[in-house]
Amino acid sequence: MEPERWQKIERLYHSALEEEKSRRAAFLEQACAGDRSLRKDVESLLAQGEETGSFLEAPALEVAAKALAQDRARLADAASRPDLMVGRTISHYRILQKVGSGGMGVVYQAKDTRLGREVALKFLPAAVRLGLISAPLHGPQALERFQREARAASALNHPNICTIYDIDEFEGHPLIAMELLEGQTLQERIAVGGGLVPVPPGRERPGEPALNVVKGAPLTVDTVLELSIQIADALDAAHAKGIIHRDIKPANIFLTSRGVAKILDFGLAKLASPVGAVSDRRLSGGRDDAVTALPIASIDVDQLTSPGAAVGTVAYMTPEQARGEEVDARTDLFSFGAVLYEMATGRRAFAGKTTALIFQALLTEAPPPPLQLNPRLPPRLEEIIHNALEKDRDLRFQSAAEMRADLKRLKRDRDSGRAVAALEVSSSPQRALSTLVTGSGDVQHAAISPDGKYVAYVREAEGKQNLWLKQLATGGDVQIATLGEDECHGLAFSADGSHVYLVQNDRLKFSGDLYKLPCLGGTPRKTLAGISGPPAFSTDGRRVAFVRRTGDEVGLLTASVDSSSERVLVSCKPPEGIGRVAWSPDGKTLAFIHYSPQPVLNTIGAEGGQAQPVAGEPWVEIEDLTWLPASPHLLVAGSPQGVSGLFAPSQLYEVSVEGGEARQITHDLSNYTEIRASADAKTLLALQGRVLATIQVAIPNKESEVRPVSAGNQNADGMAGLAWTPDGRIVYYSARDERSNLWEMDADGSNSQRLTSNDASSFSAQPAVSLRGGFIAFGQSDRKGGNIWRMDMDGSNLKQLTQDYESLIPAISPDGRWVVFTRQQGDRSVLMRIPSAGGPTSQLTNYTSYWPSVSPDGKWIACKYFPSQDQPAVLSMVPFAGGQPAKVFALPVTAGSPFVWTPDGRAISFVNRVNGVDNIWEQTVAGGPPKPVTHFTSDEIFWFDWSRDGRLALSRGTEPTDAVLIKNFR
């Protein structure tokens, strides 16, 4: 537009406005002088002027804020209107009905039309995307962040975490498809239990924080423990993946109708948790409004219009969240503690009528002791709750695993308390009673104080070791030192119990230094250098005996604890060696293990002299040794020869120094690796390794669909063998009922039945099933050793095939005529075969070879083969008739047993452990490098077998090591 013309318009506009309204037309008529376009222009501007009213009168910030307020109101409105959603198909989900709201969105039951399953479909408010709910998240980043979080959470595959199937977006609404659950939330359960039904969403009266002061009913102690162990386990799994929930509260814990706890909304809370983004101004700037001041935990859509309800969420906040600090895994533990408090008492841990009052309680007050509210609670549960609710997170449980361990221990002790009570009633003979001292499964070493009141132990997590001290009376744990990555051993208390000794050395070196640490924490002091094995202290605490390796020589030495007056008592050179040492109570004698190379118990005078072997049965292995105070007996953790040819877990024995008689203290399938005793000889402390395993059925590359089929993991199911039957059942080893037997079950775990009947001293394991059906070959062992046996599929017609007590690991030829097995022959294992109906055995290899598996075409035996003493093991294919290997394949050094042909005969599979995780790998017969066929991300695989249709039966689990106390052992 010409500037002149615009000036003309402007002048005319203002002039016209000065005229009376009725005269304007005439004025313009004259002033425009026939310029119709000019007149129209000015007139149209004047027309606007009359009605402008509020136009642009409110500043832009107000306009925008009002728009925002309107959006929120509408959003809250739309979210509570299922009538708009039910019946619609969104993406590939047909919405069936609304099942709930809150927890950041509306939830519908929907049918996944693609997969045909029903799911729960949660719509998050579109506002999440734009940051209308949470100020610091705005724009596309919010959605992206949401998706990233949700994806991470969806990778959580845990029975106690609600599974996320799919993350999508529909018309601006982030949506999540997840596991459809039947049951109720913990919030409902507690409230209903108390006779109070929560107000349905949307019907709360604003300004009336009714839910906040809910007084529900406590759950039973058994239920509390059961559920909380599940929750702790879920948190542990999530935290291990670096995912923090941030909003643990009863409304986010679902109880299925089967009594399983499921944590909801993992990874979603962060969306509404502007951590660290909330300035102090928000909390202290005088804004008393609950919603405005709500800084962190999630804001439900409902709460946007109902400030009173927001108070509910604040109640499960943590001190660090209230302070606007960064959250970490321990934050979830505090919230979990608040949930636990509520389960146990029926009352909120932190209550108050206003946000400010709740904050105050959260930051400064301890909730009323749970025992006061519910006198039936075990005091230890109260301790656990208090520990979780520590306001300083450094004083809290440091991990969900730790909390779970305490809960489990409490549950176990309650359960075993009942069992013991039952036992006493039936007046059975008393047996050694062992109780777990730790439950984390990662204990490396443990020692008991002379007074029997404390246990020091070393835990290792991710390669780092930490020293902990537990007070047995209270169960309280304190970490007293961080030990780092260096290897440590020889943990022992000083004679007065005030200090702990331990040896630390570089992982690559044979020798380390002895340190003394105050039990109450403080600086470790190096007291002695050049120690190669765990040292032993004299009862008076003044002298120490230890092994030192110098160059090629290994010596047993004594010294004062201040490192003066060292003295070599005995020395030797490889292949001989010296192992653990123990000091006699009177300080005059040392017992030690002399490897020659078999371990032999010896004694020697503390001042020197001639070493004397202790009489008695030879040992296959001795793990540890200590002198039982005030007695002529040694306590030994080890395996005497001839206990079992198949597997001989190290057990605890009391061995007479004089005569060498060994009395077995423990009779279980655990593996004991350390043994210590209190000064009064009444309490033993041992390190106990257990196998926790379940049988699972998986299809390669679909590990996410892996199905556990055996019940629980306490029976080490499949750990010592499992095999498919031709008709799709599974024959497996199980330690059920504390006996090692073979069992059989359907592939879904049903119809299990025992096939063998062993007593405590015999073992059946390593089943092989004939492809044609008809019989099972297995290894059977007792004190004298192992043999190959066979039986019919139902366990009948037992027949012993070998009589040499040196045979194990059978495999059956496809035609069912032969059983191939491993025989220990002198110092090497060789492959043998025997007709399956019985008959003479014949030797197939004359080199070290074991773990046979016969190819489906019957032409080859795959086995592990050591070409020579100093070469690594390889995988070899030996002709069925025996002789030299026809083909060998390099094996990863991390490869383990067993070796199993794939059903198509194309490859040989085996277990391979990478970064501590076992997977099935295969080596194709055609050659090339071996490849993984499963992709598990945790756990060990103890055994596996292929079915004809390509399914894997796996025995998977863990081998936790914990400290146990043993009483009444004599």
Partner 1 sequence: MIESSAHQVTQLLKAWSEGEQSAIEKLIPIVHDELHCLAQRYMANERPGHTLQTTALVNEAYLRLVDSAHTSWQNRAHFFAVCAQAMRRILVDWARSRQAMKRGGHIRPLQLDEGLAVAETPGADLVALDEALKALAAVDPRKSQVVELRFFGGLSVEETAEVLKVSNETVLRDWRLAKSWLRRELSGEKPDGA
**Residues in contact with partner 1 by the rule CB under 8 A:** 1, 6, 10, 13-14, 17, 36-37, 40-41, 44-49, 51-75, 78, 126, 129-132, 135-136, 138-139, 171-173, 206, 277, 279-281, 284-285, 287, 289, 291-292, 304-305, 307
Per the DSSP assignment, residues forming a β-bridge with 572 are 554
448 close to 685: Cβ distance less than 8 angstroms = yes
Query: Distance between CA atoms of 956 and 718, rounded to whole angstroms?
Result: 8
DSSP string, 512-527: EEEEEEETT----EEE
Least Å distance, CB 309 to partner 1, is 13
Neighbours of 419 (CB within 10 A): 11
Q: Which amino acid is at 199?
A: V
End-to-end alpha carbon distance in the chain:
109
CA dihedral 141, 146, 149, 150 (to 10 degrees): -150
613: preceding bond cis by omega (within 30 degrees): no
Q: What is the number of residues in the chain?
A: 970
Strand, helix or coil at 252?
Answer: helix
Cα separation, 58 vs 668, whole angstroms: 81
Residue 82: Cβ-neighbour burial (10 angstroms; 0-12, 13-18, 19+): middle
Q: Which residue has the tokens 């841990």?
A: 349
CB of 204 to partner 1, least distance (A): 14
CA-CA distance, 361 to 364, in Å (whole number)?
A: 5
Residue 349 · residue 338 · CB < 8 Å: yes
Min. distance of Cβ 127 from partner 1 in angstroms?
Answer: 8
Query: To the nearest whole angstrom, how small is the minimum distance from the Cβ of residue 208 to partner 1?
Result: 12
Contacts of 728 (CB under 8 A, 6+ apart): 746, 747, 947, 949
User: What phi, psi does 760 have (nearest 5°)?
Assistant: -65, -15
Catalytic residue among 247, 406, 782, 962: 247
In the block, tokens 């520990």 appear at 387
Q: Which is nearer to partner 1, 127 or 830 (CB)?
A: 127
- Give me the sign of the Cα torsion angle 337, 340, 344, 350: positive
CA proximity to 153, closest of 184, 174, 182: 174
Residue type, 405: A
Is 918 one of the annotated active-site residues of the chain? Answer: no
CA dihedral sign, ordered 146, 151, 152, 157? positive
User: How many C-beta neighbours within 10 Å does residue 788 have?
Assistant: 29
Return the exposure string of 585-612: e unless at least 16 CB atoms fall within 10 Å of the residue's CB, then b. beeebbbbbbbeeebbbbbbebeeeebe
Distance CA 153, CA 956 (A): 24
d(CA 534, CA 600): 17
How far apart, in whole angstroms, are the C-alpha atoms of residue 358 and residue 314? 7
Contact 318, 311 (CB under 8 A): no
Instruction: Provide, rounded to whole angstroms, the least separation between the CB of residue 918 and partner 1.
Output: 47
Question: Which active-site residues does the annotation give?
Answer: 247
